[in-house]
Amino acid sequence: MSDFTYFAQVLVSGLGTGCIYGLIGIGFCVIYNASGIVNFAQGAFVMLGGMITQVALTRLGLPLPIAAIIAILLVAISGTVLERVVVRPLWDRNATMFVMILATLAAQIVVERATLLAVGDQPRTLPVFTDLPPLKFGGVAVSLQLIWILVTSCLIVAGLAVFFQKTKTGKAMRACAIDREAAALQGIPVKRMLALSFALSAGLGALAGVLITPTQYTAFNVGVPFAISGFIAAIVGGFGKPSGAFLGGLLLGVVQAAAIAGFGSGLKNVAALSMLLIFLFLRPGGIVGASK
C-alpha cells in the first residue's frame, strides 16, 4: 500500500468516527440552544443506544431495525426523565452552569452503574447494517457501514438546520436559550421546550450509538470518552451551532485517526486536546463562529 493510499484510508476511517462525534456534539448544541445548559450525560445516551439495541437483538430476538427504533425511543424518554428529575429542579432555582455540569456528570455515573448491574461489564457489538464487501476506490476500501454513518449524519444535520431555522418549535427552542423570561412572556412554553430538547438530544445520542456500535464495541463505560469527544467537537465547531459541531466532529475524527496512524493510539487524546487548545487560543468562536 502506497503512502497516499494509506493516508486516504486513514482519512476515510477518521471521517466515519468524526460523524459520530459530530452527532454527539449536535446533541450538546440542541440542549444548549434550548436552555443554555451543557449536558455532560450526553455520552450515556450514546452508550444506551448501542447497548439497548444489542440487548433487544440478542435477548429478545427482535430484527435490528426494530431493535434500533425501540432503543432510540427509550433513550429519548430517558432524556426527558433526566430533564424532569435532575435538571428542571436546578433550572427552576437558577442554578449556575457549574452546578448543572456536576449534576449531569453525576447522572452519567448513575446510568453507567445501572447499566453495569443490568447487563454486566462485557463488551458488546452489533452486526453491520449491510453485510456486503466494502466498496473499492483505487486502493481505498469504504465499508457500507461507513456509508450508512455518513448518509444518516448528513440527513440529520440538514433536517436539524431546517428545524431550527424554519419551524415554530425550533425557533421557540432558540428563543428559550437567549432569554427564558422573555420567551415565557411571549407565550412560549419554556419547560416544554426544555423537555423536548433533552428528548431530541438523547435520541440523537442513541442514534449515534446505534451507528457506531457495528464498527466498535460498546460497554457500560464508553459514555465519558464519547461525551468528551462530542464536547470538543461542539467547541471546535462553534458552540451552539449544530452544523459547526458536525464539522468540528469531522475534523476531530480525522485528527485522531492521523495521530493513531502516525504515533499510535496512545496519542489520540493528546491530539484531540491539542486541537481544542489551538482553537481556543486562535479561534475561540469555532469553525463557523466569529474569528478572534
Q: Identify the residue with better confidence: 11 or 65.
A: 65
Evaluate the CA torsion angle 88, 198, 251, 109 in order and state its sign. Answer: positive
Q: What is the mean pLDDT of residues 155-168?
A: 87
pLDDT for residue 192 is more than 80: yes
How does residue 32 score in pLDDT terms, banded at 50, 70 and 90? confident
Nearest CA among 35, 70, 68 for reference residue 198: 35
pLDDT of residue 212: 92
pLDDT tens readout for residues 213-259: 998 889 999 988 899 999 999 999 888 788 889 999 999 999 998 88
Q: How buried is 9 (Cβ within 10 angstroms: 0-12 exposed, 13-18 middle, 19+ buried)?
A: middle
pLDDT for residue 95 is more than 80: yes
Torsions phi, psi for 264 (to 5 deg): 100, 160
Nearest CA among 289, 185, 181 for reference residue 243: 289
Nearest CA among 269, 220, 228, 232 for reference residue 109: 220
pLDDT tens readout for residues 258-278: 888 877 777 888 888 899 999
pLDDT of residue 2: 62
Q: Strands 135-137, 140-142: parallel, antiparallel or unpaired by DSSP? A: antiparallel
What's the rounded Cα separation, in Å, for the pair 13 and 146? 8
Nearest CA among 234, 251, 276 for reference residue 23: 234
Collapsing DSSP to helix, strand or coil, 200 comes out as: helix
Contacts (Cβ under 8 Å, ≥6 apart) of 225: 43
Q: Which three cell numbers stand for residue 59?
A: 435477548
Average pLDDT value over all residues in the chain: 88
pLDDT of residue 235: 92
Q: What is the mean pLDDT of residues 172-196?
A: 82
Whole-structure pTM value: 0.91
Q: Is the distance from CB of 243 to CB of 161 less than 8 angstroms?
A: yes
What's the rounded Cα separation, in Å, for the pair 30 and 160? 9
Evaluate the CA torsion angle 112, 217, 78, 55 in order and state its sign. Answer: negative
pLDDT of residue 291: 54
Q: What is the mean pLDDT of residues 191-220?
A: 91
Collapsing DSSP to helix, strand or coil, 18 comes out as: helix
Evaluate the CA torsion angle 174, 178, 179, 180 in order and state its sign. Answer: positive
Q: What is the CA radius of gyration of the chain?
A: 19
DSSP state of 130: S
The least confident of 143-157, 162-176, 212-226 is 162-176
What's the rounded Cα separation, in Å, for the pair 292 and 283? 5
How does residue 169 score in pLDDT terms, banded at 50, 70 and 90? confident
Q: What is the mean pLDDT of residues 159-174?
A: 85
